[in-house]
Amino acid sequence: MDVIWISHRGLHQRHVENSLHAFEAAAEAGFHTLETDLRTTRDGQIVLHHDPVLTRTANSDAIIEELDTRQCQSLRLRDGQPLLTFERFARTFTEQRWILDIKPESAMRTLTGLRDWARQQQKTDWLCRQARFLLWHPDHARLLRQYFPDAVTMAPQNECRRAGLSLLMGLKPLARIRRGRTYSLPPYFHGLPLFRRPLVDAYHRLGGRVLAFLPEGREQQRQALRAGVDEVLSNTPPIR
């Protein structure tokens, strides 16, 4: 089985995360999927950025959700790039699949903007095939389902924690694994290594898929592969 390699916000050792150059570097490195974070300005511009505030990436105390499009376009990341818009991202990275983390502060606006973009481009079905979605509130998940009935969602943090802890304790019914759903698994839990074949096999027997969540360095990547994970979310290039 081929493992799906997912770039976490692009390769950002040399470029600012969630930027055009970071995702270009990730595509060149061979990642199959690009994971990114979506936020929306007050007038509806969807941009790729993890934090609500631009302090870490652009040395600015501006809050994305409080900016308008013109203000957002005038800002520059630390390496001189403009903030990457979803429209530019969608035009550029059609060869890779996506994971879209819909940040809760502007989730309603973001989902409405995605619906409008998909309708205008006649790409509603295509977007559901192209992307998987991560949401942080049940109301946002319901709105996604309303706009995109065929959308595939990743298991949110609370589901991943419940599943992992239940399987570690041997309480399989409490894990409530959903067939075909992808669950994140970090390298360690309070010092206990989690990239182990028996644990990953327990997910698989219940029909779940396992994503190795941010292994640090080549050795942890290899541990994840030996454990039999289905996907690897990484800040560093995939093992070829």
Cα–Cα distance for residue pair 180/152, rounded to 1 Å: 10
pLDDT at 1: 59
For 54-102, what is each residue's pLDDT tens digit?
Answer: 999 999 999 999 999 999 999 999 999 999 999 999 999 999 999 999 9
What's the average model confidence in pLDDT over 192-211? 98
Cα–Cα separations (whole angstroms), residue 153 to 118, 128, 130, 131, 214: 17, 10, 12, 9, 19
94 and 181 fall within a common domain: no
Spell out the alpha helix ranges (H) of 75-196: 86-92, 107-121, 124-130, 138-147, 157-168, 172-175
Neighbours of 205 (CB within 10 A): 11
What's the average model confidence in pLDDT over 220-235? 97
Residue 144 domain boundaries: 14-153
Cα–Cα distance for residue pair 131/122, rounded to 1 Å: 15
The CATH number of residue 79's host domain is 3.20.20.190
The pTM of this model reads: 0.96
Q: Could you tell me if 61 and 71 are in contact, meaning their C-beta atoms sit under 8 angstroms apart? A: no
Cα–Cα distance for residue pair 6/25, rounded to 1 Å: 13
48 and 164 fall within a common domain: no
Looking at the structure of the chain, the number of domains it has is 2
Cα–Cα distance for residue pair 135/138, rounded to 1 Å: 8
Encode 68-103: b = buried (16+ Cβ within 10 Å), e = exposed.
eeeebeebbbeeebbbbbbeebbeebeebbbbbbbb
Predicted confidence (pLDDT) at residue 240 exceeds the cutoff of 90: no
132 and 161 fall within a common domain: no
Which among 153, 168, 194 is the end of a domain? 153
What's the average model confidence in pLDDT over 123-134? 98
What's the average model confidence in pLDDT over 177-181? 96
Cα–Cα separations (whole angstroms), residue 109 to 11, 37, 39, 104, 116: 28, 14, 8, 10, 10
